[in-house]
Structure 1
Amino acid sequence: MHPAFAVGLVFAGCCSNVIFLELLARKHPGCGNIVTFAQFLFIAVEGFLFEADLGRKRPAIPIRYYAVMVTMFFTVSVVNNYALNLNIAMPLHMIFRSGSLIASMILGIIILKKRYSVFKYTSIALVSVGIFICTLMSAKQVTSQPSVSENDGFQAFAWWLLGIAALTFALLTSARMGVFQETLYKQFGKHSKEALFYNHALPLPGFIFLASDIYDHAVLFSKSELYQVPVVGMTVPIMWFYLLMNVITQYVCIRGVFILTTECASLTVTLVVTLRKFVSLIFSILYFQNPFTLWHWLGTLFVFTGTLMYTEVWNHLGATKRPPPGEDKKN
């Protein structure tokens, strides 16, 4: 498959997914559980049909290892979506999650005993400064809203702090999952499609504990205004339409990234994903009129410059000389 097609899938799927997620979160900020459940269910059913061959195909990696990975993956997905219910604006949500490089490096040093080049440390410093600036400016926006009383302002800030803590926890857990995946792939080989299926299928029973919240939001979705779907002509509650489109675009996004990893070098994949995040951020700011100051733009510039530098410099060095023993070989 031509790489340009995969790039198109990534931009179309991932950017559209962010749009529909924000449409859902703006109307019902606490709808993260039903969104996560719908995404997991769709990808699990697709994987069961085409990857697991209706359960007849044995996994290359033992289920007991997937159980550990799935626990972390499920936790990260639920916490990230729930953070939107804690006064976390979508732009900050996207920028903060770019801190995965920082968490991965920290855990790589602690757990895998890796060493990194000066350029990588510099790029991580840029990302850290950028996230700090954006977080600080967002904190000021939360506390300086003129329409709330002092008591309400303190409560809003407290929820915002909890949201930042949730995003930080999700970042560290995601990085730990990445380290665990790395050790599994070294032992059993890479099986990305299989991992995608089990990461989404095995956590489904866990949603039983969230069933009440999912049901409540399903009722709210059903009470939303009716919307006539273009081309099809069918009329459905608009929140269900947003959810369906979010699930479909999430699948397109994941498939696009998977195709890209098989067709292109890791440098290309990282560049495409980074640019996609930047496009999604700009669209979120302009289309949804999310508050974004000059300081936010400066922080964003630091984040994306550091991310690009992290990959480009490392790949350039890797092409000219052998890395020292223990150096990270993954982007």
Structure 2
Amino acid sequence: MLNNFAFGYNISVPVHIILRSGGSVMTMLVGYVWGKRYTSMQIFSVTMLTAGIGVAAMADAQAKGKMKSTSSTKIDPEFITGLMILAVAQLLSAIMGIYSELTYSEYGRHWHENLFYQHSLSIPMFYPFFPSLLEQLKKLVYSEPIQLSPSLYQFLHTKSNSTFGSGDLQLPPMALSPSVFQVALPKHVFNLIVNAGTQFACIRGVNALSARTSALGVSIALNVRKLVSLCVSLWLFGNKLPPGVLLGAVIVFGSTSIWAWEGQRIRIKDKRKGKMQ
């Protein structure tokens, strides 16, 4: 909720990605305070991963002309407020990740319960934002309805004629005219439903992953997902891949490989210690 709320304080999407990529570092710091200890290779890989996300996001923003000029020394109070909101969100997210990890270790890895309680208990927190949510919902409801593309119209028109033939069940031609045939569902409501479905799949996967690995491992996986999403968006919209994004991708996947290799080395070492005891 705080991550989305920050957009109202002059936080651009590239800056949002860069700051949220520090989630792994924040998780490591919270874990250290909580008593966890990390090897030098793990610290190095997390630092490089965060830097790689930042390089890729800044390169993408510069290629699209979305980065603000740094020549102005004027401080934007809204921007500072947005940074503070994102910092608090990162801290709370790191604490929740460590707490979930401790809960799994003590009560069992029942991620379905964790998914349910996380979202059901957070519903009352949306009450202060109800007027704003209601206003946004009205805008979605009153958006233009979904219109069929000419190719889809032609497909439906052909299928209706081939299915019903020239009998009494043939659909009227005007019913499938591109100028009048529309789906009653508003366009933005449809987009919201699709987005909610993809978010549900993502959150479900994150909770399933959190039951099988550490909070820091989940944070690293989410950072890799951010870079993959950035690259997929570049591909879908036909944009050229800036050299900085390619460099960031190499850094991210290289640091992730270092993390995985170091984790495997630690697990093998722990198994050997267990056998010796």
What residue in structure 1 maps to residue 115 of structure 2?
A: 196
What residue in structure 2 maps to residue 115 of structure 1?
A: 37
- Change in Cα spacing, 1:211 to 1:260, as seen in structure 2 (3 Å) is closer
The whole-number CA distance in structure 2 between the counterparts of 1:91 and 1:97 is: 10
Contact in 1 for aligned 2:146/2:184 (Cα 8 Å):
yes
What residue in structure 2 maps to residue 103 of structure 1?
A: 26
Structure 1, unpaired ranges of 5+: 1-77, 326-331
Q: TM-score, normalising length from structure 2?
A: 0.67
- Change in Cα spacing, 1:179 to 1:206, as seen in structure 2 (3 Å) is same
Can you list the C-alpha shifts for 1:135-182, whole angstroms capped at 9, x where unaligned? 76669944239xxxx99x957x65444434333321221111122222
The alpha-carbon deviation at position 294 of structure 1 amounts to: 3.7
SS in structure 2 at match of 1:227: strand
Match of 2:100 among 181, 194, 198: 181
The whole-number CA distance in structure 2 between the counterparts of 1:79 and 1:316 is: 35
Say whether 1:250 aligns with 2:199. Answer: yes
- Change in Cα spacing, 1:183 to 1:279, as seen in structure 2 (3 Å) is closer
Q: Which amino acid aligns with 1:102?
A: V
Contact in 2 for aligned 1:261/1:269 (Cα 8 Å):
yes
Contact in 1 for aligned 2:56/2:227 (Cα 8 Å):
no
Say whether 1:82 aligns with 2:5. Answer: yes
Report the structure number with the largest CA radius of gyration. 2
What residue in structure 1 maps to residue 124 of structure 2?
A: 205
Q: How many residues align?
A: 238
The residue correspondences of 1:46-85 to structure 2 (distance < 5 A) are 78-85=1-8
The alpha-carbon deviation at position 91 of structure 1 amounts to: 4.9
The alpha-carbon deviation at position 280 of structure 1 amounts to: 1.2
Say whether 1:224 aligns with 2:143. Answer: yes
Structure 2, unpaired ranges of 5+: 157-181
- Change in Cα spacing, 1:260 to 1:120, as seen in structure 2 (3 Å) is closer
The residue correspondences of 1:121-140 to structure 2 (distance < 5 A) are 121-131=43-53, 133=55
| Two-structure CA RMSD over aligned residues (Å) | 4.1
- Change in Cα spacing, 1:305 to 1:279, as seen in structure 2 (3 Å) is same
The whole-number CA distance in structure 2 between the counterparts of 1:256 and 1:181 is: 15
Contact in 1 for aligned 2:115/2:207 (Cα 8 Å):
no
Say whether 1:143 aligns with 2:65. Answer: no
Q: Which amino acid aligns with 1:204?
A: I
Can you list the C-alpha shifts for 1:209-253, whole angstroms capped at 9, x where unaligned? 11100111011112222214889x732221111111111122223
Match of 1:169 among 64, 67, 88: 88
What residue in structure 2 maps to residue 302 of structure 1?
A: 251
Q: Which amino acid aligns with 2:269?
A: K
Match of 1:315 among 252, 263, 266: 263
Contact in 1 for aligned 2:18/2:54 (Cα 8 Å):
no
What residue in structure 1 maps to residue 161 of structure 2?
A: none
Match of 2:228 among 279, 282, 297: 279
What residue in structure 1 maps to residue 162 of structure 2?
A: none
The whole-number CA distance in structure 1 between the counterparts of 2:83 and 2:46 is: 19
The whole-number CA distance in structure 1 between the counterparts of 2:83 and 2:249 is: 17
SS in structure 2 at match of 1:316: helix
What residue in structure 1 maps to residue 165 of structure 2?
A: none
The whole-number CA distance in structure 2 between the counterparts of 1:234 and 1:192 is: 38
Contact in 1 for aligned 2:46/2:220 (Cα 8 Å):
no
Q: TM-score, normalising length from structure 1?
A: 0.58
What residue in structure 2 maps to residue 73 of structure 1?
A: none
Q: Which amino acid aligns with 1:216?
A: E
